[in-house]
Amino acid sequence: MDPLEGHLHKQIDHSRDFFWHRVRWRAVARELHGEPFELTDVGAGIGLLGDLLARDFSRCTYRFVEPLESLEAELDQRFGREANARGADGYRASRYVTLLDVLEHQEDDRAFLAELVSKMAHGATLVVTVPAMQRLWSGWDVALGHHRRYDKVSLAAAFEGTPVQLREMSYLFPEMLAPAMVRRLRWRTGGSARPLDLVRAEFPDLPRPLNELLYALGSSTERIRRIWPAGTSLLAVVQRAS
């Protein structure tokens, strides 16, 4: 099994309640307006976004693209084969497209974004999240197959040449900078990571009180995300030019 595939499979049991996923969803959900609408989730992984959409936007139509075959098969069973948009010429019916913590896995991020934007309808909105701050790079990133971390300048550069208008670029999780620096010190790497390091890369099983405390803290900082000069994640919202 591909290391990233294994990592995603292991998230299925506890990711729905994990504070990080819940805070990220808050940020994404703020950008979704005017039901009913169709959303295409590129790099859907375990399909968590589809579950959250069904819960909070009951009139939304969910479509997904997932290149890992075992995950794709599971998504086909859960959401129906008709929801599978892999191989589609475009996402012309989708008002929203999401790319959540996927871009950092692409060796050529500019080419990936250019192809994705070309499939979007004019006026459609793309919501992107990526790991932030290259100075936080560590063996954790290597173990998960990341090619880079981003700041506002490098993420904006990845969109250069695409017909989009930037609506927002904000940092998330400023409160996690200190733990990320500790992780960097513990995961020093010269560019390689052992396969067993993936075990250490899993999201931890947190005691419920701590998980809820971190969710409350993350929710507070997410509400005023535009003021933070740094954070461990970066959110971009762009609209395809008409």
pLDDT in tens, 186-208: 876 544 445 445 555 567 788 99
pLDDT score recorded for residue 205: 80
Q: Where are the alpha helices (DSSP H) in the chain?
A: 3-11, 19-29, 48-56, 69-79, 109-119, 139-143, 152-158, 177-186, 197-201, 208-223
Quote the CA–CA distance of 75 and 65 in Å, as a whole number. 9
Q: Where are the alpha helices (DSSP H) in 90-176?
A: 109-119, 139-143, 152-158
Contact present, 170 and 227 (Cβ < 8 Å): no
pTM given for the model = 0.91
Contact present, 85 and 113 (Cβ < 8 Å): no
pLDDT score recorded for residue 143: 85
Instruction: Give me the mean pLDDT over the 43-59 stretch.
Output: 95
Instruction: Give me the mean pLDDT over the 116-139 stretch.
Output: 96
CA dihedral 70, 25, 98, 7 (to 10 degrees): -30
Query: Is a pLDDT exceeding 50 seen at residue 238?
Result: yes
Instruction: Give me the mean pLDDT over the 153-161 stretch.
Output: 98
Best CA proximity match to 91, nearest among 121, 65, 113, 61: 121
- Greater pLDDT, 9 or 81: 81
Mean pLDDT rounded to a whole number for the chain: 90
Q: What residues contact residue 58 under an 8 Å CB cut-off, 6+ apart?
A: 35
Contact present, 155 and 234 (Cβ < 8 Å): yes
Contact present, 164 and 237 (Cβ < 8 Å): no
- List, in order of start, the domains of the chain with CATH numbers: 3-240 (3.40.50.150)
Contact present, 140 and 201 (Cβ < 8 Å): yes
pLDDT score recorded for residue 101: 97
Instruction: Give me the mean pLDDT over the 19-30 stretch.
Output: 97
Q: What residues contact residue 227 under an 8 Å CB cut-off, 6+ apart?
A: none
pLDDT in tens, 62-82: 999 999 998 999 999 999 999
Contact present, 63 and 82 (Cβ < 8 Å): no
Choice among 54-58, 136-140, 237-241 with the minimum mean pLDDT = 136-140
